[in-house]
Chain A
Amino acid sequence: MRIPYYPGCTLHQKASGLDRSARVTAAALGIELVELPQWQCCGGLIPQIREAYMGLLAPARILVDAQKEGDRLLTLCTFCYNTLKRADRILRDDPESRRRIEDFLEEKYYGVRVVHLLEVLRDEVGWDSVRQQVVRPLDWKVAPYYGCLLLRPYKEIGLDDPEDPTIMEDFLRCLGCTVVNFPAKTECCGSFLSVTKPELAKECSRQIVQKAAQTGAQVIVTTCPLCQFNLDRFQGDGPTSDGRYRSVPILYFTQPLAFALGLDEGVFFPDQHRVSPQRLFSSPTKEGRA
């Protein structure tokens, strides 16, 4: 199946590992990601307040271009997913916003269904089919981490339960992983505060990593480049004063997928990690031990 794809600014650069691992794994599972012929940054976050038309313009421009390529648009970055999906909702539900944006862009907007690769795997490829294509079942103990924007607000995103989601757990089990019960899975990593108030993002992130470490998880898996960065980056600053801290590598969900599917080119991006996940990729797999 062919799906128009919006990488977004971060995936073209700092999080190229997410982009590359997604492209190879999607292709292996029969999904052709067709990058939009032209696109720009979505603005990162959707304005929360009313009548913030300027903030709506960037995602609206992407959606207007995307509707020429098909009736849906695939994203990987959690921020892009949230922003584009909510922008589509605003443009569909609020006639005044749509009128102003259409007037400005001089184009009509009919609606685009914004989807995440995870939901395409669940709803269209199907977990069973993913499981059948695994050639290297992963004997890993994993903490799935969703963060905030992949799930919230539920009424507009609707991907999974905003407080106790299971889509990532289901996905990881298909790959053979053992999934730990991780109560901090929907807590926020401090988001963009990492660039304006790094000490606050560090506090949020380290709490999450520490909780994951306490479950015995070997790795945290996420969908978001900023979660990946925050959780990973602030571990580089040393252990906590109480000595209970253990470092945990952070991977995009597409990396274990690539490894399990035997697609080595989409597995490991050494320059994108402070806490190296390399050990995981050399540990014996279920198949290897059998």
Chain B
Amino acid sequence: MVSLTLPKRIADRDWIKEIEELSGENLFACYQCGKCSAGCPLAFAMDLLPHQVIRLLQLELVNEVLNSSAPWFCVGCLTCATRCPKGVDLAKVMEAIRTLLLREGKEERRPFPLPTEIMTEAPQQASVSAFRKLSL
């Protein structure tokens, strides 16, 4: 039997319910076919694949998900949502996780240095969108 010690702040909350409410998605609809991860353009960079994020939540292994890079690398391209045979919109789940973490004010989620060269060259929509996604 695996035992996990969660910090009180994390353990005291029903994260699964909060993620479901915020995203509007039923996490338990997912039957782990893996189609979302197969098509995800950022899967190569994530420490948990999109379908693993859902699986860990189903198993209530919340801590692993909250410490994962996956929600921060998801760009909301909706490839997963378009292909999921169960109609799960993972982009919403990822955004819900990100938002809950941002609301916690986690230190490492505060503004980080941005590559200035690219920032000055990139179209405005890139910075506007990045700040929208990665801040509250």
**A and B bind:** yes
Interface residues of A in 33-50 (CB under 8 A from B): 41, 43-45, 47-50
Bound-complex Cα distance A13 to B121 (A): 11
Q: Are B132 and A44 in contact (CB under 8 A)?
A: yes
Name the contact of A225 in the complex, choosing from B78, B79, B125 (C-beta under 8 A). Answer: B125
Name the contact of B118 in the complex, choosing from A9, A47, A55, A195 (C-beta under 8 A). Answer: A195
CB distance from B111 to the nearest CB of A (A): 10
Greatest chain A CB density within 10 A among B24, B83, B125, B133 is at: B125
Q: At the interface, yes or no: A144 with Cβ under 8 Å from chain B?
A: no
Q: Are A153 and B114 in contact (CB under 8 A)?
A: no
A153, closest chain B residue (CB): B78
Which chain B residues border A204 with CB–CB below 8 Å? Answer: 41-42
Q: At the interface, yes or no: A79 with Cβ under 8 Å from chain B?
A: yes
Cβ proximity bits A153-187 to B, threshold 8 Å, 1 near / 0 not: 11000000011000000000000000000000011
Interface residues of A in 1-31 (CB under 8 A from B): 8-10, 13-15
| Chain B interface category by residue count | 35 or more
Q: At the interface, yes or no: A284 with Cβ under 8 Å from chain B?
A: no
Cβ proximity bits B117-131 to A, threshold 8 Å, 1 near / 0 not: 011011111111110
Which chain A residues border B92 with CB–CB below 8 Å? Answer: 48-49
Which chain A residues border B44 with CB–CB below 8 Å? Answer: 203
Which chain B residues border A192 with CB–CB below 8 Å? Answer: 75, 125-127, 129-130, 133
Q: Are B134 and A154 in contact (CB under 8 A)?
A: no
B90, closest chain A residue (CB): A48
Name the contact of B79 in the complex, choosing from A49, A79, A188 (C-beta under 8 A). Answer: A188
Q: Are B22 and A152 in contact (CB under 8 A)?
A: no
Interface pairs (9), CB distance under 8 Å:
A47-B95, A49-B23, A55-B132, A79-B129, A148-B75, A190-B75, A195-B115, A196-B112, A203-B45
Q: A10-B125, A188-B41, A195-B114 are in contact. List 15 more A-B contacts (CB 8 A).
A: A14-B122, A43-B132, A47-B132, A48-B76, A50-B21, A52-B99, A79-B129, A80-B125, A148-B79, A153-B78, A191-B76, A195-B127, A196-B112, A226-B122, A229-B122
